[in-house]
Amino acid sequence: MLQILHEDANCIIVNKPAGLPTQPDQTNDRSALDIVARHLSRQVFIVNRLDRPASGILLLAKTSNSAGKFSALFQNDKVKKSYWAMVKNKPENDSGTLTHFLKRGAKSKKSLVYNDASKGGKKSVLNYTVLKSLDNYHLLEIELETGRYHQIRSQLAAIGSPIKGDVKYGAKRKNQDRSIHLHARKLAFTHPFNNERIEIEAEVPTKDNLWQSVID
């Protein structure tokens, strides 16, 4: 279940398991927002979102004022975010920058990827590094320069390296638990209320053998 990584008067940061929605959706399944609100016995506010099949760091604010402050950090690129992704097809280069223009599909619930802005997409940039190669999969570390809908998933798919289990973006097989091997690994920022430097790292899913193989 949810693991608390940091808590103070203004926010709580948790490690979300794969399969748990960030906030209530059409399934009416219990969400991370519901769990944290019940744990704190108060209303909380989502600051950064994480796709349901992904795992990792979520930041929730304890007041609407706090939510505005933390959201401004994300919007003004003052938060350093890094993710881990497992892919079967190794990118051509061991490190690089991907720049595409993404447009959210009206019906597909996917990000459509274009090489230029002619279709009206938003410029989307990420940097990646291959951290480790196993027999069948490769571990990438990804740092986002922009935050777009399904950005990592769609951009990696666009270069022929879809995330393991992500059949929506071209993976050949889904994971049995319907997760995808995308994990919000690290978050770093200067606290907007006390100027403390916050650096958070979230453990990869402990019951997933592939994730565990890259940290052994």
For residues 163 and 154, the answer to whether their CB atoms sit within 8 Å is: no
Q: What is the DSSP secondary structure assignment for residue 204, as one 8-state letter?
A: P
Model pTM score:
0.95
Torsions phi, psi of 36, nearest 5? -70, -40
Q: What is the pLDDT of residues 25-44, one digit of tens each?
A: 888 889 999 999 999 999 99
Alpha carbon distance 74, 50 (integer Å):
14
Which residues share a beta bridge with 59? 13
Torsions phi, psi of 147, nearest 5? -125, 95
For residues 24 and 33, the answer to whether their CB atoms sit within 8 Å is: yes
Both tokens of 186, joined, read: 């690290």
Q: What is the pLDDT of residues 192-213, one digit of tens each?
A: 999 999 999 999 999 999 999 9
* % of the chain at pLDDT higher than 90: 87
Helix (H, G, I), strand (E, B) or coil at 211: helix
| pLDDT of res. 109 | 85
Both tokens of 12, joined, read: 């709580």
For residues 123 and 66, the answer to whether their CB atoms sit within 8 Å is: no
Both tokens of 97, joined, read: 């920058």
| pLDDT of res. 119 | 87
Alpha carbon distance 165, 171 (integer Å):
6
Q: What is the pLDDT of residues 108-124, one digit of tens each?
A: 889 999 999 988 899 99
| pLDDT of res. 94 | 97
Average pLDDT, the chain: 95
Alpha carbon distance 13, 191 (integer Å):
12
Q: How far is CA 200 from CA 12, 153, 172, in A?
A: 11, 22, 33
Domains and CATH numbers, the chain: 3-213 (3.30.2350.10)
Burial class (CB in 10 A: 0-12, 13-18, 19+), 122: middle
